[in-house]
Amino acid sequence: MTDEGRLLAGRYRVGALIGRGGMADVHIGTDSRLGRTVAIKLLKSSLASDPAFRTRFRQEAQAAARMAHPTIVRVFDAGEETVADSSGGETQIPFIVMEYVDGRLLKDIIREGPLNTAEAVRIIDGVLTALEYSHRAGVVHRDIKPGNIMITKTGQVKVMDFGIARAISDSSTTVAQTTAILGTASYFSPEQAKGESVDARTDLYSTGVVLFEMLAGRPPFRGDSPVAVAYQHVSESPVKPSSINAKVSPALDTVVLHALSKDRFARYQSAVEFRNDVETAGSGQIPVRRTVDESGTGLFGAAPTAVSGSELALKQLAEDETMVRTQRRPPVIWVWAGILSVIVIVLSVMIWAFSLTPSSDLPDNSRKVPSLAGETYEQAQNELLDLDLAATMAQEPSATVPKDKVIRTDPPAGTIAQPTDVIKVYVSTGAQPVEVPDVTNKPIADAQAAITALGLVPGSVTQENSTTIAANLVLSTDPAALSAAKTGDTVNFTVSSGLVTLPDVVGQSLSAAQDLVNAVLLKPIPTPDDSCPAKPGDPITKQSLPAGDVPQQTEVTLTYCIG
């Protein structure tokens, strides 16, 4: 089933396919509400089968949406759309609505051959500018690669998919679902390949791989499988880009090899440091390798270094127990005064804490989702906007809620939401027309299940005698089978009791009595009685079962007089 033409969240019209990746397809689209062109990324439905992924996906998409920078592709909206699959069931399609960028992917540009030095430096400068902004915002990309970098027709660098790799790797998805990530093994950092925790320096390593590929025309490591490539990132040293492309300067060789250090403490510690060296190398000068003291500890602290002579002397001086301590100890009264001051402060804090009374007021940065059931979508949207909450619409049939009225919200009413949260509003499409299925001769339990599956409501069950239908099988329904109904309508059942009505045949002739018993599919057993005088027609003097309801196929002894 094609996605083209589908309307997502009641506002985004999916257009032609413009890109395809391991975990998503990208379509051009239209925001019907704002009248602007957007890019719509439809993630694989297999990812949405994991609730942990959906939660992480929503959180990371919201984090990405808060980043506004010229070098980052904006995320406008995200969510999941419920659609019917080919088997008649329902499936969830996660989607992201992004800024539409009129340009080319860097991977397509590299496919045409190595870039010249100036262009490679300009592009990697834009990537590092985007990473500097995202890292300061606390967002690590985790999947920097040429397939996530776009170059507009005016030459602007745009990095996309912030937070999406984290949403996948941090959820409890299966190995099959994360296979898409293995496709980016060429850009893995050693810590990613080893399954260790990642930080901003992981993005800088991947950026170094991208710079290598722009200069050399291929990644630094290649193999027959993603696992083989990941192993090389951990254990093998890369060659210089100039060994593949002689036009690459020694200065850029130095920058690339520094960025591709296996030890995260030995590579660049920040995007700013990396960009400064790239600019220096682009001007033809070899960057000066900074010591830890010169470059600072950055965001992650410094790597262990050797102890200098002065530090060793100070350490020995501190550990020399033969030295006489000349500093006077503080008076004892000062010590006790300090202790008492601490006790007084602690007691004061405890008294203040216990005196606080619980408040029902909500924090300024949070909102309580209101009850919107029964309202129109426009009313619900306006009410949410008054609370600084965004709304997205989903539709589903309902037999109890009128058409175009709100059924429920996700998260539900009463939930505390942040101003950046998107509230999914489910709107009723009304009761759907449905045809009453033919459930005759089916067990009542199966018939009720078939009725329920179509949105109908099982009603009363009435028993009726039947000569041919076994007990608890459906004889008929009201409304009748194949008649028109609507979801929510009640269907009553008439089922077989498994009994038949035995007539009173005493006084009837033997032949007439046998015909009456055979007519209800019972088994007559004629039995002669010679204790009474014979009469014409061999009349029945006694029947073994009284007239009334008896089980189907029961034997009935008919006693007749023979004299």
State the pLDDT at residue 319: 42
Considering the domain architecture, whether residues 390 and 535 belong to the same structural domain is answered as: no
- CA 347, 351, 352, 353 torsion: positive or negative? positive
Considering the domain architecture, whether residues 244 and 386 belong to the same structural domain is answered as: no
State the pLDDT at residue 323: 40
Question: Is 335 part of any domain?
Answer: no
Instruction: Tell me which amino acid residue 405 is.
Output: K
- Whether the pTM exceeds 0.75: the reply is no
User: Are residues 78 and 421 in contact, defined by beta-carbon separation less than 8 angstroms?
Assistant: no
State the pLDDT at residue 293: 45
Considering the domain architecture, whether residues 49 and 97 belong to the same structural domain is answered as: yes
Considering the domain architecture, whether residues 486 and 557 belong to the same structural domain is answered as: no
Number of domains the chain contains: 4
Considering the domain architecture, whether residues 27 and 110 belong to the same structural domain is answered as: yes
Question: Is 303 part of any domain?
Answer: no
Considering the domain architecture, whether residues 540 and 423 belong to the same structural domain is answered as: no
Considering the domain architecture, whether residues 266 and 404 belong to the same structural domain is answered as: no
How would you write the pLDDT of the chain (563 residues) with one tens digit per residue? Answer: 567 778 888 899 999 988 877 667 889 999 988 889 999 988 776 666 666 666 667 666 776 777 788 899 988 888 888 776 667 677 778 888 989 998 999 999 999 999 999 999 999 999 999 999 888 888 888 889 998 999 999 999 999 887 665 555 554 343 333 433 444 788 989 998 888 888 899 999 999 999 999 999 999 999 888 888 888 999 999 999 999 999 999 999 999 999 999 999 999 999 999 999 999 999 988 887 654 444 444 455 444 443 333 343 334 433 444 344 444 445 667 777 888 888 989 888 888 777 765 554 445 445 788 999 999 988 988 888 778 777 888 888 888 889 899 999 988 988 888 766 778 889 988 888 889 999 999 999 999 999 998 888 999 999 999 989 999 999 999 999 999 998 888 999 999 999 999 999 998 888 898 899 998 888 999 999 888 877 777 888 899 999 999 999 999 999 988 86
Q: List the domain range (segments joined by +) for residue 480.
A: 433-497
Question: Is 219 part of any domain?
Answer: yes
Question: Is 324 part of any domain?
Answer: no
Distance CA 42, CA 529 (A): 87
Question: Is 359 part of any domain?
Answer: no
Considering the domain architecture, whether residues 526 and 418 belong to the same structural domain is answered as: no
State the pLDDT at residue 114: 94
DSSP state for residue 539 in the 8-state scheme = B
Considering the domain architecture, whether residues 420 and 515 belong to the same structural domain is answered as: no
The one catalytic residue in 3, 25, 31, 143 is: 143
Considering the domain architecture, whether residues 152 and 241 belong to the same structural domain is answered as: yes
Interior CA angle at 447 toward 445 and 453, to 5°?
Answer: 105
Contacts of 218 (CB under 8 A, 6+ apart): 244
Q: What are φ and ψ of residue 209, in 5° steps?
A: -65, -40
Question: Is 121 part of any domain?
Answer: yes
C-alpha radius of gyration, the chain, whole number: 40
Question: Is 318 part of any domain?
Answer: no
**What's the farthest any 2 CA atoms get from each other in the chain?**
144
Q: Of the residues 428, 462, 478, which one is the last residue of a structural domain?
A: 428
Considering the domain architecture, whether residues 407 and 464 belong to the same structural domain is answered as: no
Question: Is 548 part of any domain?
Answer: yes
Q: Which of 403, 398, 425, 399 is nearest to 413 (CA)?
A: 425
3-state helix, strand, coil in the chain (%, to 5): 35, 25, 40
User: Are residues 435 and 456 in contact, defined by beta-carbon separation less than 8 angstroms?
Assistant: no
User: Are residues 522 and 511 in contact, defined by beta-carbon separation less than 8 angstroms?
Assistant: no
Contacts of 464 (CB under 8 A, 6+ apart): 475, 494, 495, 496, 497
State the pLDDT at residue 164: 63
Q: Of the residues 475, 497, 519, which one is the last residue of a structural domain?
A: 497
Considering the domain architecture, whether residues 409 and 554 belong to the same structural domain is answered as: no
User: Are residues 198 and 88 in contact, defined by beta-carbon separation less than 8 angstroms?
Assistant: no
Q: Of the residues 465, 497, 529, which one is the last residue of a structural domain?
A: 497
Cis amide linkage into residue 330, ω under 30° from 0: no
CATH number of the domain residue 484 falls in: 3.30.10.20
Q: Which of 52, 74, 50 is nearest to 62 (CA)?
A: 74
Q: Which of 113, 111, 106, 109 is nearest to 247 (CA)?
A: 113
Is 143 tagged catalytic? Answer: yes
Cis amide linkage into residue 479, ω under 30° from 0: yes
